[in-house]
Amino acid sequence: SADIRLKEAEQAAKIMGVDVRINLGLKDCFFQQTENELIQLIEIIRLFKPEIILGNSPKDRHPDHSKAAKLISDASYYSGLLKIQTNWEGQKQDEWRPKVVYHYMQDYYIDPDFVMDISPYINDKFEAILAYKSQFYDPYSTEKETPISTKGFIENIKGKASFMGRHAGFEYAEGFVVNRTIGVKNLFDLQ
């Protein structure tokens, strides 16, 4: 239910040390890329002015994930356009464009453009994921099994993190894709 999900999201945010969590209330399975939905996201981007945005996977099992990825990418671009006017609490917002949007992997494997070492945070990652306990395996549940409520799903996530890290020399890594070329100023910044 929405109430259970909200409580789980608040618990996960607490585990991750999130200061602010905003839910735009876009309808599960039925949100679209409309002007209204883009404007809502543009307002949030302009409010917080992030340099980097992490977004859903552009290709995934659940159609909402790829729709959200496109919505995030497009809103990130449009938020930098002067001609799109937005207000927050009655005040005109200035345009702002993040430097980059990185899309993290979800269910489907996609060749990453880069991976980030998450070895020191792997236990925190699973603690935050498992805060959504209503979504995952429960041997006593009478609910119909879903792809993420199977017994091995959590081990699958850990295996993906291990696989992503292996070729970069990390115990665990998170893979990301990006819509533009990533540049570095110093080759020694690369591992």
Q: If the chain, 191 residues long, is cut into consecutive pieces of 10 residues, what is the mean pLDDT of each piece? A: 89 94 88 93 98 95 94 98 96 97 93 96 94 83 82 90 95 95 86 71
Coil, helix or strand for 139?
coil
Burial of 121 (0-12, 13-18, 19+ CB in 10 A): middle
pTM for the model stands at 0.89
Helices (H) and strands (E) in the chain, counts: 5, 6
Instruction: Check residue 180 and give its pLDDT.
Output: 87
Instruction: Check residue 134 and give its pLDDT.
Output: 87
Q: Cα torsion at 58, 175, 131, 63 (round to 10°)? A: 10
Instruction: Check residue 27 and give its pLDDT.
Output: 87
